Chain A
């Protein structure tokens, strides 16, 4: 699996490939469903690759946008010169070009195209009710929802402003328009404005779109040549598109700082390589195995980034959810469980079904690094040869966990067979609480008597010291067996507090809460 810088274009292409492979859309928060669906449809109909189909959809959206504006203006202004001027200028408007070149963004391009389609339909209805106009409006609105970008950006504001200005200038008649159409140079200039960027886009778009933002072709090629094929899934992994909280994690990895957390996430997702130009962040922690200009292909050290590995059933029981993008302790616990070297055999029959073969020991379960979407089904072969259903569990990173509870050679068939609802609705992500910020961490052997640093057991009323990280002075509480106590001293690495005299002896969980975030519990023994 390669992990690289992404762009909306890459995400959309990967989402289309996901749709082609699994027959289900990716979650709405990852990509609005319409564009990947159009790309997948175009790829299916034409036999083109998803990247070329993407290009075709973009071109169509670009042209339809211009056409719609032309039509709208014509309705207000019979003068075709004005309408053409408006349509061509709109085609060369900054927001449209930016969707093509700056940050290739087909969903946004199509969204604003559909706004014009809806406006056209609404205008038809305003002029007189017609069934065709109504259908057009309803379809336009439905598709508009289907392309709605996940978040509003300055590009949307710009697009809105451009439309307002253009429609304002062209649809309301003014004296200036008469002068404008009389200028002989206007039409050639507008035509050039339209044609030049269009031609340019068709000439260089394929390379720009697929590897934007300017990920070097040579680096991608190097990875493809030097990596094990089943583990390579493209510059943005289709797997990554359906993992929980992808965006916030990706943003952290691609931004400066938070090196440790980024490294842990890359390992958690068993990324094999990272393609990045952030030398300051990644050069000290990863080996740059291929350099291309300012870009480096970093090999990510991992016990074994194989698609399936054996993991400990017993430790799974004690594994806690990963609480946030900066949950170092949760990630480390996850990796110490999931980062195993013992590989399991996975043979894919096709893109949605696989056979898993493993010689299992009594403590073994199987981690398959495929996102645990609801449509996955598994059956395990019993010694009698009969196949029985096997529960698909989800691990804290969202991958499939299989626990057939058998020993010896075991064969499991894994198949993705989504229901009809899954096929028409975007997949859902597991949305546990995912809290930003650093979580307090109690060090290993980090609770001791405050006077002589002896470890547990402690007496009731004893003054204890907690050593750890990420404690916030004035915003820290300690919970002993669920009851809150007020610490007598807090700094970023140490807390002093007293065990209540009234507590009942036994094993107690101690939890630190700092700035609203809680540590994992730490068990100590309290005696009378």
Chain B
């Protein structure tokens, strides 16, 4: 009998969440990490990205809040935050008080701000993101708990009266696990550290939320993963991502979805969706039918949901029901996709966005507004704007929808003008 009630309650929540699903501008937005500031820009990278995201009609914006990059100097520059008059020590709470960060949170056109946050510690060479390559201890716990709590307090104090959502997230836990495994040789350490770190962060956010029951500002915790079907496995020269066949029993594989998610809590699960959207995991080759993009994404969103449902917090369940998986990153590199025989970026992006919207993802974040600097033979050209500030025209376009900017603007301003007739 209890099972029937639970099922009914879950269905009711799902229906309620589906009915109350906000409009597309409230769900779709942009991420900006390191990027080439176009020649026609009049301010810093973060402010410029915010302006252009808002101009495209998006009301969701994602940014990095940590010690490694300040949106003015190159990453790791010794001069980062030097212009900001920061008092020591640097913390995420102090970073969000810097005007260019603060303006993102205060911008009335942005309803949801997703912060990719890492606690900050000086390991001898200046402020840096928390180092997760060493065994988790009380020191790391105190660092994470104190700085996340301080950030939440600061957000409630400064923006508590605003009807906004701030989501505190990490960046691709699987990548961090892979890094830890390759550094230490210990998958167990990687899994344990990510579990404890995530749970500590969740508890800090939950406590801060409970301490501010009357705030209009909603602060949530999202845990971001990037691997669904692939695993991290020991390979001949270290750990790498691999598709492990069922028959390969001897080769143990790990990923955050299977090894971390069941052991932690979160209000929202963020999926960095490249594994689904950019190439089929079976072949890992991008030149596949664009129409299949959405099919793969829905398949993987369903899989994630089935594995993560039990870890969703009550607050997350109330907010999102059964649609608690957001797309934390989706994007296509022009140099890899625009010239594929099966079609370029636009049909793929349309298929992915359509699938994510139909599935009910509460947020869908596009990577990113400005191209990142060229980096050898790494995929390049994800930006809505190129280095000259131009909007690159893409193939398979119509008069109204010939670039990410025009297609997105059409979609966000009222119903996908032009997207329905993409070739």
Contacts and interface: CB of A to CB of B under 8 A. Distances in A.
Nearest to A525: B250
Contacts of A455: 248
Given A260-B377, A344-B125, A345-B124, A445 B235 contact: yes
A301 B376 contact: yes
A113 to B, nearest CB: 45
A357 B122 CA distance: 10
B282 interface: no
Contact of A362 (B79, B122, B134, B375): B134
Interface stretch (A2-10, A144-152, A306-314, A494-502): A306-314
A341 to B, nearest CB: 7
Max chain A CB contacts within 10 Å: which of B74, B75, B242, B377? B74
A368 B133 CA distance: 20
A187 B122 CA distance: 73
Nearest to A410: B124
Nearest to B371: A287
Interface in A218-237: 228-231
A138 B122 CA distance: 59
B373 A301 contact: yes
A344 B248 contact: no
A444 B236 CA distance: 7
Contact of B125 (A303, A308, A314, A362): A308
B22 interface: no
B78 A345 contact: no
A336 interface: yes
B182 A345 contact: no
Contacts of B377: 260, 285
A359 B240 CA distance: 28
A315 B128 contact: no
Interface string A239-269: 0000000000000000000001001000000
Contact of B79 (A228, A342, A410, A444): A228
A455 B128 CA distance: 41
A522 interface: yes
A56 interface: no
A315 B133 CA distance: 13
Nearest to A285: B376
A401 to B, nearest CB: 15
Contacts of B236: 442, 444-445, 522-523
Max chain B CB contacts within 10 Å: which of A301, A315, A362? A301
Contacts of B74: 299
* Count class of interface residues, chain A: 35 or more
Q: Looking at chain A's contact residues, is the secondary structure mostly helix, strand, loop, or mixed?
A: mixed
A444 B134 contact: no
Contacts of A363: 133-134, 183-184
B45 to A, nearest CB: 14
B28 interface: no
B5 interface: no
A419 interface: no
Contact of A444 (B68, B121, B182, B237): B237
A358 B124 contact: yes
B238 A336 contact: yes
B77 interface: yes
Given A285-B374, A312-B183, A345 B238 contact: no
Contacts of B185: 314-315
B237 A284 contact: no
A357 B123 CA distance: 8
A508 interface: no
A359 B375 CA distance: 30
Given A315-B238, A343-B76, A445-B235, A358 B123 contact: yes
A312 B180 CA distance: 10
Contacts of B135: 361-362
A376 interface: no
A336 B182 contact: yes
A304 interface: yes
Max chain A CB contacts within 10 Å: which of B74, B124, B375? B124
A344 B238 contact: no
A301 B133 CA distance: 23
Contacts of B128: 341-343
Interface in A264-314: 284-287, 299, 301, 303-306, 308-310, 312, 314
A343 B376 contact: no
A263 B376 CA distance: 7
A119 interface: no
A445 B243 CA distance: 11
Interface string B359-386: 0000000000000011111000000000
A333 interface: yes
B73 to A, nearest CB: 9
Interface in A345-360: 345-346, 356-359
Nearest to A282: B374
B108 interface: no
A320 to B, nearest CB: 10
Contacts of A364: 133-134
Max chain A CB contacts within 10 Å: which of B133, B242, B377? B133
Interface string B327-340: 00000000000000
Contacts of B238: 315, 336
A342 B78 contact: no
B240 A444 contact: yes
Interface string A442-458: 10110000000001000
A228 B78 contact: yes
B126 interface: yes
B374 A286 contact: yes
Contact of A361 (B76, B122, B131, B237): B131
Interface in A41-72: none
Contacts of B68: 341
B183 A315 contact: yes
A317 B68 CA distance: 29
A284 B374 contact: yes
Contacts of B113: none
A363 B185 CA distance: 9
Nearest to B36: A287
Max chain A CB contacts within 10 Å: which of B36, B182, B242, B375? B375
Interface string B119-155: 0011111101001011100000000000000000000
A223 to B, nearest CB: 12
Nearest to B335: A284
Contacts of A344: 123-125
Contacts of A523: 236
B183 A287 contact: no
Given A285-B377, A342-B131, A344-B124, A333 B183 contact: no
Interface in B163-199: 182-185
A366 B217 CA distance: 44
A329 B126 CA distance: 32
A370 to B, nearest CB: 15
Contacts of A299: 74, 373
A233 to B, nearest CB: 15
Contacts of A231: 78
A343 B125 contact: yes
B263 to A, nearest CB: 23
Interface in A368-389: none
A8 B135 CA distance: 51
Given A361-B134, A445-B242, A455-B248, A343 B126 contact: yes
Contacts of B374: 284-287, 301
Nearest to A447: B236
Given A359-B124, A361-B134, A287 B76 contact: no
15 contacts: A231-B78, A285-B377, A286-B373, A287-B36, A310-B131, A342-B128, A344-B123, A345-B124, A357-B124, A358-B125, A361-B131, A362-B135, A444-B235, A444-B236, A520-B237
Interface of B: 36, 68, 74-79, 121-126, 128, 131, 133-135, 182-185, 235-238, 240, 242, 248, 373-377, 387
A-B pairs, top 7 by smallest CB distance, nearest first, are A361-B134, A343-B125, A287-B373, A358-B124, A228-B78, A345-B124, A301-B375
